[in-house]
Amino acid sequence: MVGAVRDASPRWSERQLADWAEPQLARVEDALSRWVGIDAPVLLGEAMRYAVLDGGKRLRPLLVLAASEAVAPLAPARTAIGDAALRAACAVELIHAYSLVHDDLPCMDNDVLRRGKPTVHVKFGEADALLAGDALQALAFELLVPDEADIPAAVQARLVRLLTRAAGSQGMAGGQAIDLASVGRRLSESELREMHRLKTGALLQGSVEMGAACAGELPAVVLAGLRDYGAAIGLAFQVVDDILDVVADSETLGKTAGKDAAADKPTYVSLLGLEGARASAQQLLAQALAALERSALSDTAALRALAHMVVDRDR
């Protein structure tokens, strides 16, 4: 029985996750380095590459790649999945990177430190940072619709559809707008959850769904399981972010710690307390793992390990 095999597969060690992730990350870094900011004029290309290369945990690309591997056995023709997944992995990272560049601008969070380096506008000026973010968003979608690649047009269109929804006014940008409007206000837990579902969750969930979309049409039970998994780790990620903002120092985080409290922003910690937030993260992890069980996929070891990583990380 497939279920028994799946349940019996042991949880990956950190080493096993690293062994899986390393070659994946090498492919992503190589692709980003080939695709980002090449042939862009003057400082724009340099600012785009500075914003994207050599930085970040690449969690979203790993989610795309892990999801695409999990569904690969269900795909009608397996050949094009790898190329589509690599492009989708880079595209979600570009959306993430552009959102950080714009988020750090003086009119938003006015942050000077990101991944241990000066933020893009500190290094290149505000105008070029703004344009670099804009160009990274366009490039994210461009990567999904290659002219010559062997990716079915229906898959290309589906990937664009999922990414626009994850990134736009009913996804990430919408969540950021709620965040802006919430500074200094008291939010209920459900309001806070809605904000984070959009602001951070939509792109993490979208990453999982895009990985799945690389395989073409899939059974509804698989899609639902992966969607629920993505939603749970999307929220868990933000809960852990809020915890780390309180307990970690800036050096470990590679960005300014304690800034939510300083900005009087509502967080899971301010709402639930530190222990309450930790309990919430564990509960969301359990939900994510249960959703994977429901997906009836046979090989979800990487997705499970990533869920644990999201909750157990210290930066």
Q: Which stretches of the chain bind a copy of itself, using CB under 8 A?
A: 37, 39-45, 48, 98-99, 102, 105-108, 125-128, 130-131, 133-135, 137-139, 141-142, 144-145, 147, 152-154, 156-158, 160-161, 164-165, 167-171, 173-178, 180-181, 198
Question: How far, in Å, CA of 232 to CA of 88, rounded?
Answer: 21
Question: How far, in Å, CA of 60 to CA of 286, rounded?
Answer: 20
Closer residue to a copy of itself in complex, CB, 234/269? 234
Q: How far from 34 is each of 42, 47, 63, 204, CA to CA, in Å? A: 18, 15, 21, 24
Q: How far is the CB of 294 from a copy of itself (least distance, A)?
A: 24
| Nearby residues of 241 by Cβ (< 8 Å), 6 or more positions away | 200
Closer residue to a copy of itself in complex, CB, 131/305? 131
| Nearby residues of 216 by Cβ (< 8 Å), 6 or more positions away | 75, 76, 152, 154, 155
Question: How far, in Å, CA of 307 to CA of 14, rounded?
Answer: 12
| Phi/psi of residue 168, nearest 5 degrees | -85, -155
Q: How far is the CB of 193 from a copy of itself (least distance, A)?
A: 14
Q: How far is the CB of 157 from a copy of itself (least distance, A)?
A: 4
Closer residue to a copy of itself in complex, CB, 65/139? 139
Closer residue to a copy of itself in complex, CB, 33/164? 164
Question: How far, in Å, CA of 108 to CA of 125, rounded?
Answer: 15
Closer residue to a copy of itself in complex, CB, 64/151? 151
Dihedral (Cα; 178, 179, 182, 187), 10-degree rounding: 90
- Among 90, 25, 60, CA closest to 201: 60
- Which tokens hold the place of 259? 């800034």
Closer residue to a copy of itself in complex, CB, 198/306? 198
Tally of CB atoms within 10 A around 241: 18
Q: How far is the CB of 98 from a copy of itself (least distance, A)?
A: 8
Q: How far is the CB of 307 from a copy of itself (least distance, A)?
A: 27
Closer residue to a copy of itself in complex, CB, 174/230? 174
Residue whose entry in the numeric block shows the structure tokens 């989708």: 88
Q: How far is the CB of 149 from a copy of itself (least distance, A)?
A: 11
Q: How far is the CB of 175 from a copy of itself (least distance, A)?
A: 8
Question: How far, in Å, CA of 220 to CA of 223, rounded?
Answer: 5
**Three-class DSSP category at 117:** strand
Q: How far is the CB of 277 from a copy of itself (least distance, A)?
A: 24
Closer residue to a copy of itself in complex, CB, 174/234? 174
Q: How far is the CB of 170 from a copy of itself (least distance, A)?
A: 6
Closer residue to a copy of itself in complex, CB, 74/160? 160
> Measured between alpha carbons, how far apart are the two ends of the chain, in Å?
39
Residue 12 DSSP class: P
130 sits in which H/E element:
helix 126-143
